[in-house]
Amino acid sequence: MNSADLRHVARRTILATLAAAALAPRLGRAAEKTVRIGVQKYGTLIILRERHILEQVLQPLGWGVTWHEFPGGPQLLEALTAGALDFGTTGEAPPIFAQAAGSPLLYVAYEPPSPAGEAILVPKDSPITKVAELKGRAVALNKGSNVHYLLVQALASAGLTPADIKPVYLAPADARAAFERGNVDAWAIWDPFLSAAHDATGGRTLVDGNGIGGHALAPNRQFFLATKDFAHDHADILRVLNAQIDATDHWAEQHQAETTKLLATSMGLSQSVIAQAVGRMGYGVRPLTPDVVADQQKIADTFYALHLIPQKLDVASAVWSSRT
């Protein structure tokens, strides 16, 4: 069995384990339905999880909730595609790659942009001072994550393409280690890993989603997504989820010190690091607007033109209507 086959078997095993774990609560309480939610280490869903409010709201409706944590959006959507999750959150790029791979996902809602919450870092003593100097250099990123689009746009702003660099595809923890050891020349990363890297390594921001000279590169929105089957069968529960996420966002915006402490405890990071990231978050959950869909379509078209996805996509066809 070659290495590609081994990776495939390992992936199937992980997803099968996730699916079994998510179904476990049903075996013990046959009368209760369960919504399986995918989270990353940071963000609104983590706040909602840590405050234990969703369980209180869903229990009278006959529903339970299980939480499943992933290192990044691509891994989360892989589990959703495999049927191991019902709902989750990612940045802009992962749904594009997932839709191109045939994922049965729907965009349910989004949070406002947070362009300063993602950036390309270089070591503090690096000779690199502008994006054009990344040519021929090794750049770490989580493939298919929200920073993938930032990197593509940053390179384009300097007249480069992904073919002009040496991409090194690593999850955040491994990328951090490679960055600290000097095994890569730059690192495209998002909050709070971005804030943590600034604090621990003194790394310099080469460019963030705001771009340079007023030319924005990437909005960096967070999206909430569900499977088509869950949205079709349980639209009422999706509305409850949206309402609770929105309420959590508003609470977090008005209680940033408490939010910082909660997230710092959850992640094991310092409050000073988390405070920077919390200050850059986009707050408030909204249904997708035509402008937001158009921005996602632009990302999809960009990736298709660069042969990063195999086919043209119609993003609007994957947007959930709360009226259905």
pLDDT grade, residue 53 (50/70/90)?
Answer: very high
H-type helices in 182-255, by residue range? Answer: 193-201, 228-233, 235-254
Domains 3-113+221-318 and 115-208 share a fold: yes
Could you tell me the two tokens for 196? 């943590």
Q: pLDDT for 99-111, tens place per residue?
A: 999 999 999 999 9
Q: Report the alpha-carbon distance of residue 313 to residue 63 in Å, rounded.
A: 34
The CA radius of gyration of the chain, in Å to the nearest whole number, is 19
Give pLDDT tens digits for 215-226.
Answer: 789 999 999 999
For 3-113+221-318, CATH number out of 3.40.190.10, 3.40.1410.10, 3.60.21.10, 3.30.1310.10 equals 3.40.190.10
DSSP code per residue over 241-292? HHHHHHHHHHHHHH-HHHHHHHHHHHHT--HHHHHHHHTT-----BPPPHHH
pLDDT of 269 above 90? no
C-alpha 268/C-alpha 44 separation (Å) is 17
Q: Looking at residue 300, what is its pLDDT?
A: 96
pLDDT at 6: 30
Average pLDDT over the chain, rounded to an integer: 88
Beta bridge partners of 64: 34
- Superfamily grouping for domain 115-208: Periplasmic binding protein-like II (3.40.190.10)
Q: In terms of Cα–Cα distance, which of 158, 160, 147 is closest to 188?
A: 147
For range 9-24, the mean pLDDT = 40
The pLDDT value recorded for residue 324 is 52
- Single pTM value for the model: 0.84
Asked if the model's pLDDT at residue 123 lies above 70, the reply is: yes
Q: What was the pLDDT predicted at 323?
A: 60
Q: Which residue has the higher pLDDT, 226 or 25?
A: 226
Kindly list the domain boundaries of the chain, sorted by start residue.
3-113+221-318, 115-208
Q: What is the mean pLDDT of residues 287-315?
A: 95
What pLDDT digit, counting tens, does each position of 275-292 carry? Answer: 988 988 888 899 999 999
